[in-house]
């Protein structure tokens, strides 16, 4: 069996390469466990000065978590194995967020969902012309987890709310503009960057020297639109704001929003709002685990994956079907604490 995670040492660097190319390096529970083990070992190794995370081959850095496994869990075991996956994935996210040594993530290619979760905690996040960044969970009845509540809520100009609700894809230049990446390099310069970092050169200096001038970020032209339409606390208000704008961009976003799970969108709005009030990443992950444990077994997730990934008819039948049918009581139940022995903990 091919190893799904490749770890190696090069100079002062510990290197983790995702190695599941046929699945665009989607994370499995075993991959999360292997990554945590490598990080734990390097944490106490004085010869390791930096950790680099990249992918071994293929067109994406990481397309997300193992969605098919999660759907199977929802349909067959009441979400038990799905919860276990979330538990370990979130521990990996937290380990990276709190890691004492610098981490460099190379977001070359598709970086979505779980790929965001293992790249955003890094102090150094490198985008390229190949980067395609998104948190598309609202389209499959989920929510922007893996720390998405923490990161997206803290972006300027309500860009995070826009990304969470619409699942919009950003290219590398747009990631740099939004603050989701720290540097923009041409893909053919990545090997040189890795070589120099592994040789012990100062990370910021290397990335600055090798950075390319990013193209004009297309999203910047709509920054004012995003700030205006996505500033509201409720999904109904966001929709009403877009409906009142006859411009082409607003109408396109409205159509996209109407295709998403109303429940998932409302969960995401509350998630981002509550995350902004939390004082630690661990508390954010505990909140997201509660949400994940509930949403996993609600109808929209299995239906969303069916429509988008299994049957690919892109015609999900959401339940509830309309925003006004997703009540505050429903959301309260999704966000409620779990029994003490089921709550998520960092370790």
Main-chain dihedrals φ then ψ at residue 320, nearest 5 degrees: -70, 155
Query: Is position 304 annotated as part of the catalytic site?
Result: no
Residue in the structure block whose two tokens are 């038990």: 80
Considering the candidates 11, 60, 64, 65, report the single residue annotated as catalytic. Answer: 65
Task: Give a three-class secondary structure readout of the chain.
Answer: CCCCEEEEEECCEEEEEECCHHHCCCECHHHHHHHHHHHHHHHCCCCCCEEEEEECCCCEEECCECHHHHHHHHHHCCCHHHHHHHHHHHHHHHHHHCCCCCEEEEECCEEECHHHHHHCCCCEEEECCCCEEECCHHHHCCCCCCCHHHHHHCCHHHHHHHHHHHCCCEEHHHHHHHCCCCEECCHHHHHHHHHHHHCCCCHHHHHHHHCCCCCCCHHHHHHHHHHHHCCCCCHHHHHHHHHCCCCHHHHHHHHHHHCCCHHHHHHHHHHHHHHCCCCCHHHHHHHHHHHHHHHCCCHHHHHHHHHHHHCCCCCCCCCCCCHHHCCHHHHHHHHCCCCHHHCCCCC
- First and final C-alpha spacing in the chain: 29
Query: Is position 137 annotated as part of the catalytic site?
Result: yes
| Residues 6 or more apart in contact with residue 199 via CB below 8 angstroms | 11, 12
Considering the candidates 34, 145, 225, 303, report the single residue annotated as catalytic. Answer: 145
Q: Hey, which residues are catalytic here?
A: 65, 114, 137, 145
């Amino acid at each position: 069996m091919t190893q799904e995670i490749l770890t190696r040492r090069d100079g002062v660097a510990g290197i983790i390469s995702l190695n599941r190319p046929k699945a665009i390096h989607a994370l499995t529970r075993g991959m999360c466990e292997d990554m945590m083990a490598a990080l734990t070992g390097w944490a106490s190794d004085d010869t390791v000065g930096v950790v680099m995370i990249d992918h071994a081959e293929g067109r994406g850095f990481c397309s997300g978590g193992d969605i098919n496994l999660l759907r199977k869990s929802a349909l067959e075991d009441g979400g038990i194995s799905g919860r276990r996956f979330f538990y370990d994935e979130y521990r990996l996210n937290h380990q990276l967020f709190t890691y004492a040594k610098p981490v460099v993530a190379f977001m070359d290619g598709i970086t979505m969902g779980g790929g965001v979760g293992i790249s955003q905690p890094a102090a150094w996040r490198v985008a390229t012309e190949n980067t395609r960044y998104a948190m598309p969970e609202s389209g499959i009845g989920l929510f922007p987890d893996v720390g998405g509540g923490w990161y997206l809520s803290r972006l300027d100009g309500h860009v995070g709310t826009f990304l969470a609700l619409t699942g919009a894809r950003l290219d590398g230049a747009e990631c740099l503009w939004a603050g989701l990446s720290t540097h923009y390099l041409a893909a053919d310069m990545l090997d040189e960057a890795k070589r120099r970092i592994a040789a012990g050169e100062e990370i910021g200096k290397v990335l600055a020297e090798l950075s390319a001038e990013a193209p004009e970020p297309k999203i910047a032209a709509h920054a004012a639109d995003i700030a205006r339409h996505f500033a509201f606390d409720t999904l109904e208000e966001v929709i009403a704001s877009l409906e009142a704008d006859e411009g082409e961009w607003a109408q396109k976003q409205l159509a996209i929003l109407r295709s998403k799970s109303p429940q998932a969108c409302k969960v995401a709005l509350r998630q981002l709002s509550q995350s902004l009030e939390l004082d630690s990443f661990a508390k954010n992950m505990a909140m997201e685990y509660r949400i994940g444990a509930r949403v996993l077994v609600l109808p929209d997730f299995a239906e969303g994956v069916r429509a988008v990934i299994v049957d690919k008819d892109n015609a999900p039948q959401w339940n509830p079907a309309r925003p006004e049918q997703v009540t505050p009581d429903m959301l309260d139940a999704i966000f409620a604490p779990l029994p003490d022995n089921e709550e998520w903990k960092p370790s």
